[in-house]
Amino acid sequence: MARAVDAWLTHLDVERGVSRNTLTAYRRDLARWTAHLASVGVDRPEDVREAHVSDFLAGLREGDEHHQPLAATSAARTLVAVRGLHRFLALEGVLDADPARTVSPPRPPSRLPKAIPVEDVERLLEAASVGDTPASLRDRALLEVLYGTGARISEAVGLDVDDVEGEDRVVRLRGKGGKDRVVPLGSYAAAALSAWLVRGRPTLAARGVGTPALFLNARGGRLSRQSAWSVLRACAERAHLEGHLSPHTLRHSFATHLLEGGADVRVVQELLGHASVTTTQVYTLVTVQRLREVYAQSHPRAR
């Protein structure tokens, strides 16, 4: 089983360009899967049966003395790794049939993406502009890019200086699966990036050994995802924004505000880098709910 896992992860890394974070998560999930198989005396892929996969999924949901019960979304993610492994082995001819093919992941509860009002976004961005230090210029530029492009946090911190085309006001984002997309930069994001590149980045870059990264930390290296989270949390506290606020909240707000402004769902799909429009369509439910609220508050015969 260990050799099979290594072969699949190598395939994902070399042939499909899966991100390092995804590979790490898959390796962790499959370590739990192979441990489960070892506990029932199975150590070869060809000995795995559908019942083993079903029992493993049930164990994920119930937990045991070493593991807490997993939520439906976490259990489903783990099952994705298991199914991906055995589908690969079947396609490679290692297995005659895929034992995990008919095991369905648990259905997570339906949750609408959480977006914050435009007024709260503006408060957040203003809170990032404390003084004219390199750090404050970076923080404002980072948050403007997250909200102005709908970038994932990994895409934003993965940006290099050459990915920003100032004259055309576009930025090239590297999405999941190695898929690049070009997203326009609004005037506010473009101005914040220009201020950071001219007045802020050179100071921090002088402290490092040279990196093409767009966003830098205090030592002149590439800003990490964890540090970007800290920037957002600090700005949210200064803006007195209550509730859980994450980089993904800005991505959700980007999509929701575009649709509320009349953007076509297919355009939003391209901007977000979604492979399927079905993923994007969940945002239309958010805007319909907003329409209901406005109608209920505004129409004299709504109540």
Mean pLDDT to the nearest integer, 19-35: 93
Q: Judge whether 146 lies within some domain.
A: yes
pTM for the model: 0.63
Measured between alpha carbons, how far is 134 from 189 in angstroms, rounded to an integer?
16
Note whether residue 97 is domain-resident. no
233 pLDDT tier (thresholds 50, 70, 90) = very high
Domain count, the chain: 2
Taking the alpha carbons at both ends of the chain, their separation in whole angstroms is 62
Averaged pLDDT, 280-293: 72
Please tell me whether residues 49 and 128 are part of one structural domain: no
- CATH number of the structural domain spanning residue 22: 1.10.150
- The residue written with tokens 């993965």 in the block is 158
Domain range for 18 = 2-91
Mean pLDDT, rounded, of the chain: 89
DSSP single-letter state for residue 216: B
Burial class of residue 105 (count of CB atoms within 10 Å of its CB; 0-12, 13-18, 19+): middle
Kindly tell me if the per-residue pLDDT of 168 is higher than 80.
Answer: yes
The pLDDT score that the predictor gives to residue 212 is 95
| pLDDT over 80 at 295, yes or no | no
Measure the CA–CA gap between 281 and 255, rounded to whole angstroms: 10
Specify the range with the lowest mean pLDDT, choosing from 8-17, 200-209, 230-239, 272-281: 272-281
* Residue 303 included in any domain: no
Predicted local distance difference test score (pLDDT) of residue 266: 86
170, 165, 142: which is closest to 155 by C-alpha?
142
- The rounded distance, in Å, linking the Cα atoms of 112 and 135 is 34
Q: Helix 20-39 to helix 2-14 angle, to the nearest 10 degrees? A: 160
Residues with a known catalytic role = 152, 176, 248, 251, 274, 283
Higher pLDDT, 193 or 263: 193
Q: What is the pLDDT of residue 16?
A: 87
Q: Are residues 176 and 222 in the same domain?
A: yes
